[in-house]
């Protein structure tokens, strides 16, 4: 079934200029419902001659963009190429186009008719700058929309030098509006996937203004490129740096609470793995963990093989799950979300089974998508509301 707007373009009822204006006014992709639970989604590009276009989405077996494989097809007599796919109607997902020119030079770009949202820059560069599709039955993320409409909050930036790790990194701190002192010390969340463009401070401001959470500080920790893949993987030295260096550094500069219940450690993917592991091993410092699509399947010896290598492959219990199984329940609370369509969601379900079986105060949810910032940015609001509801009057 062709999209009605594409049919008008093909039949000459709409000129290319009229079709282009429609896309700019309504935003791509074009969506038509075909059953109560399914829609046809039409992506449109205008790449120029001798250029092929393919689509990649953050849903599928790979962590990152998964190529759909099928090339866009031309709309005869126009400069446009289209690709129509049938999808679940409740999806929200990041996506990009890959253009390949006559010299086989590839360029990955966002949808020119659906620019990236405000908070599109991410700690992991390969996820940054993508367009986001929100299909008609996707769970709304109203606090992300409110955050996107707000002016950027004030942010202080400084460099933290670590003797434990032998490196230094940028730290960004966003305080809520108002005056605070040691007598009114603030709760705070440390986000391990920090960038100065992160949505967390703006989401915090929207929730505070609505009276849905207590004022809190947001601390954003920079990740140092490829060192992320060593520091965040259940690394005792990195966790100790947070306890022995970052927290004293923060308390020296800001009126922040020393009550573990007022401190949350947050992260996405490897950052979520680190947040959950660090809170378990340092519960008198971090009383809460916000883990979004955590890499629960990680174990340093868990490697796939091929051929004869399969005869040597071991399958140990992943580190985070094994440590929670082995330890006595710690006095921590855990907010945990993961995509239904992530390849690793079975590990998140396993971790949740362990946590509930051990009696942890935990909130677990699955969303209709993949390993995707398109969901994490908005569901962080739910995590803040779970962790820091307003004080009872």
To 5 degrees, how large is the angle CA 298–CA 343–CA 36? 150
Written as six digits, the tokens of 55 are 């689509």
Q: What is the pLDDT of residue 309?
A: 72
CATH number of 142-387: 3.40.50.1820
The pLDDT tens digits for 259-308 are 999 999 999 999 999 999 999 999 999 999 999 999 999 998 876 666 77
Q: Give pLDDT, residue 1.
A: 57
Which pLDDT score, from 0 to 100, does residue 344 have?
82
CB within 8 Å of 316: residues ≥ 6 apart: 299, 301, 302, 322
Residue-level pLDDT at 393: 56
Q: Specify the pLDDT at position 314.
A: 76
Q: How many CB atoms lie within 10 A of CB 31?
A: 17
pTM for this structure? 0.94
Q: How many CA atoms lie within 13 A of 315 on its CB side?
A: 3
The reported pLDDT for the residue numbered 343 is: 86
The dotted CATH code for 4-134 is: 2.60.40.10
Maximum Cα–Cα distance across the chain: 71
Amino acid 304: pLDDT: 60
Q: Residue 128 has what pLDDT?
A: 79
Instruction: Say if residues 179 and 119 touch (Cβ distance below 8 Å).
Output: no
Domain ranges of the chain: 4-134, 142-387
User: Tokens 């059953």 identify what position?
Assistant: 35
The tokens for 52 are: 């092929």
Give per-residue pLDDT as tens, 373-385. 999 999 999 999 9
Angle at alpha carbon of residue 379, lines to 378 and 385, rounded to 5°? 110
Q: Which one-letter DSSP state was computed for residue 388?
A: -
Residue ranges of the chain whose pLDDT lies below 50: none
């Amino acid at each position: 079934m062709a999209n009605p707007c594409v049919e008008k373009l093909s039949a000459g009822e709409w000129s290319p200029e009229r079709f282009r204006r429609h896309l700019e006014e309504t935003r791509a992709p074009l969506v038509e419902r075909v059953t109560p639970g399914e829609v046809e989604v039409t992506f449109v590009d205008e790449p120029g001659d001798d250029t092929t276009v393919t689509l990649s989405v953050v849903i599928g077996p790979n962590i990152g963009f998964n190529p759909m494989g099928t090339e866009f097809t031309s709309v005869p007599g126009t400069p446009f190429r289209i690709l129509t796919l049938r999808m679940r109607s409740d999806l929200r997902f990041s996506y990009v186009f890959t253009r390949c020119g006559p010299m086989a030079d590839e360029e990955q770009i966002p949808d020119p008719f659906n620019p990236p949202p405000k908070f599109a820059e991410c700690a992991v560069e390969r996820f940054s700058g993508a367009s986001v599709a929100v299909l008609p039955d996707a769970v709304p993320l109203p606090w992300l929309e409110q955050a996107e409409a707000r002016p950027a909050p004030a942010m202080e930036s400084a460099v933290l030098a670590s003797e434990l790790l032998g490196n230094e990194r940028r730290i960004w701190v966003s305080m809520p509006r108002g005056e605070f002192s040691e007598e009114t010390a603030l709760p705070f969340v440390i986000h391990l996937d920090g960038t100065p463009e992160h949505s967390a401070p703006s989401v915090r401001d929207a929730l505070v203004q609505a009276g849905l959470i207590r004022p809190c500080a947001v601390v954003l920790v920079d990740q140092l490129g490829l060192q992320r893949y060593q520091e965040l993987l259940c690394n005792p030295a990195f966790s100790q740096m947070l306890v022995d260096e970052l927290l004293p550094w923060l308390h020296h500069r800001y009126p922040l609470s020393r009550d573990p219940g007022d401190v949350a450690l947050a992260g996405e993917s490897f950052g979520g793995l680190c947040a959950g592991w660090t809170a378990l091993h340092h519960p008198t410092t971090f009383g809460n963990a916000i883990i979004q699509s955590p890499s629960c399947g990680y174990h340093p010896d868990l490697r796939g093989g091929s051929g004869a290598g399969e005869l040597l492959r071991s399958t140990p219990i992943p580190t985070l799950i094994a440590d929670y199984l082995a330890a006595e329940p710690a006095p921590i609370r855990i907010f945990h979300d993961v995509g239904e369509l992530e390849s690793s969601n079975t590990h998140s379900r396993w971790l949740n089974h362990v946590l509930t079986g051990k009696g942890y105060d935990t909130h677990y949810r699955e969303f209709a998508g993949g390993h995707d910032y398109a969901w994490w940015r908005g569901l962080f609001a739910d995590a803040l509301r779970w962790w820091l509801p307003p004080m009872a009057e």
